[in-house]
Structures are given as structure tokens and as C-alpha cells.
A = this chain, B = another copy of it.
Amino acid sequence: MPRTRKEPDARADFRGKAATINDIARLAGVSKKTVSRIINRSPLVRGDTREKVEALMREVGYVPDPLARGLAFRRSFLIGMIYDNPTAQYIVDIQYGALDALRDSGFELVVHPCDSRSPDYVTGVRRFVQQQKLHGVMLVPRVSEDQALCDMLNEIGCRYARIAAVSLDGPEKMVVTHDRDGAAEVADYLQTLGHRDVAMITGPAAYRSAIERTEGFVGALQRRGIELPKSRLVEAGYTFESGVAAAEKLLGAKKRPTAIFCGNDEMAAGVYRVALRMGIQIPQQLSVVGYDDSPLASRLWPPLTSVRRDTRDTGRMAAAMLLQNEAGSRPLSSVRPHLVIRDSCQPPA
């Protein structure tokens, strides 16, 4: 005859049903409320009681049921990751980082891509958050830059962590990636190599990252005495194809720049394509720098010098932020980009 429900097995996790809070309470000879206090790390438990119960929980491999806990708490143990349309590598790196932070926390990551151009995407996110009673959400660029979305989240009382190029909110809600600094480092590097006639292919002005990278680059050049004329600044769409079009404009000019900084690696690949077609040698006749340090950067020839972002750390910080108890006065989370020098630049001819 099988064991009855009322005779819990110490190895209950492996055969039959898993142990519940009632089993633990009975076995430990305390009330379930006391067990609950221990699960929730309440200080209102005597040291020896706590130890006895914790030992028992370990022994039987007891883990509280997130569904039951969620129902009682009116909040699940799920973290949502909301994103629009970044590159695959970026999404995956943020996910890995977030999962690093969530490991052994009892929280899980639920992914939620959306289309921020759709008029009712904010409503869609709200439904998602409310129906799942999410514990919090990670906001990845570009949705992280949408103030209307954050207003909605504040209104419904959903905590969130925004990943963005620059601080847009309270420090307890931001992971700042300082794109301005990464772009400035590129400017310094190119100036040091001796480039004076440089150009930039920027991302869409609707992206905060594009603005920051552009201003960081232009500003740092200025500080070093180089003024970038309007014609040397071409806006593109962060895609390969748009990078090709922008490169054609810049490299087809009567006098072409000696170096081009691209707002991301995809557009840098577009510059490579056009340079190849036009017989312009990289880096001998043209220096190129990207941003992202994606896998593509080392697949190109010559390997592309690019700004690396520690995307996994970024994801880790955003998730960790959502696990913290309440605000407190934590410092701003931030992650610094840095230039990875490969073979796509040299002093101008």
C-alpha cells in the first residue's frame, strides 16, 4: 500500500508528492506560521528554532511552492524581460546575465518581446504584468527609453529596471551603460592615430544610444580641437543595409574621410562592403571603428576595432536590482564600455 498523504516521507521530493509547509511544521513540531517566517527570513524566530527547521528543510529537500506563495502574496516569482528589437546577441547576453542574478533565488525569467511602434504595446505590457502578477520587469533599449511605458508601470505599482545609455530615472531603477564614454574613447583613439578628417555613421536619432554615441564622439573630438562638419555626420538605421547606404554617401564624396566611426558593428560591416566594392583598403586607406563588439567584429577582415559593452553584466545588474527588498539609497548601477583594438585602424596615409 502506498504511503498516505499524512505520513510524509523524508525523501518526499523524490517519490510521490513533494513535502509541504504542513509536513515541515509537523515534523519540526512548530506551527506552519513559524515555518513561513523562516522561509521569508523574518527576524521574529528564535535562533535554535530556525536552525532546527532549516536543517529539516534541507534534509527533505523542501522548497516552498511558488504558485501557492504567489497566490497568497498576490505577486508571482517571475521577472519579465521586455524588449523591442535589438540584435539577437544582445538579447541573449542580457538573458544570460539576468539568469546569473536569478540563480537560486527562486525567481524565473519570462521573456516578452513586443513592438514599440504598435500603438497599443503599452497596454499589452500592462496586461502581461497584471495577469502574471510579475514581481518586476527588466526594460531593455529601446522600450527602456519610453517614459509613457514607465509611467504606466508606476501607476500600476510594478517595479522595473531600465537599461539605458544615460540616466533617465531614479538610481534604484537604472542601469546606465555610458555610451557617451565609449564613443569619446573612439574619438581619442582616432585623434591619437593622427586622423583629422573623420566621419560618423550614427544610429537613428530616436534612440538614446545613438544620441549619446554621437554627442560623445563629436564632443571628444571638439575637446581635441577637431570640429566635425555636418556633412561628416550621416544618420542611418543601425542595420547593415543602412550602413551600406551611408557609406556610399561618405565614400563617394569628392574628398573622403580617413576614418569612419559607426554607431554599431552592423553598420561597420556595411562600410566594409562598400570599401571592398570601391577598392578602398581597410585600414591602409580607411580606418573603421564599430560599437558593440559583436561576434561579427572578429568575422570581418580585417578584424574590426569596436567598443565592447559588458552586456551580460548589464543584464545581471538589472535583474539583481529587481530582487532587492525596497529602494534604500543604493548607488547608481553602471557599466563602462571600453575600446577593443583590432586591425581596422592605422594612422592616415
Contacts and interface: CB of A to CB of B under 8 A. Distances in A.
Interface of A: 13, 18, 63, 65-68, 70-71, 76, 78, 87-89, 91-93, 95-96, 99, 106, 108-113, 130-133, 240, 269, 272-273, 276, 295-296, 298-301
Contacts of A301: 272-273, 276
Given A99-B111, A109-B111, 17 more contacts: A13-B130, A18-B130, A66-B132, A67-B133, A88-B88, A88-B89, A89-B89, A91-B92, A99-B113, A108-B110, A109-B110, A240-B298, A269-B299, A273-B299, A276-B301, A296-B299, A299-B300
Nearest to A277: B301
Nearest to A127: B63
A43 to B, nearest CB: 26
A96 B113 CA distance: 8
Shortest 3 CB-CB contacts between residues of A and residues of B: A88-B92, A88-B88, A88-B89
Contacts of A300: 299
B63 A131 contact: yes
A213 B268 CA distance: 33
A276 B296 CA distance: 17
A112 B110 CA distance: 10
A88 B93 CA distance: 8
Nearest to A80: B108
Contacts of A70: 67
Nearest to A298: B240
Contacts of A65: 71, 131, 133
A106 B296 CA distance: 37
A111 B131 contact: no
Nearest to A70: B67
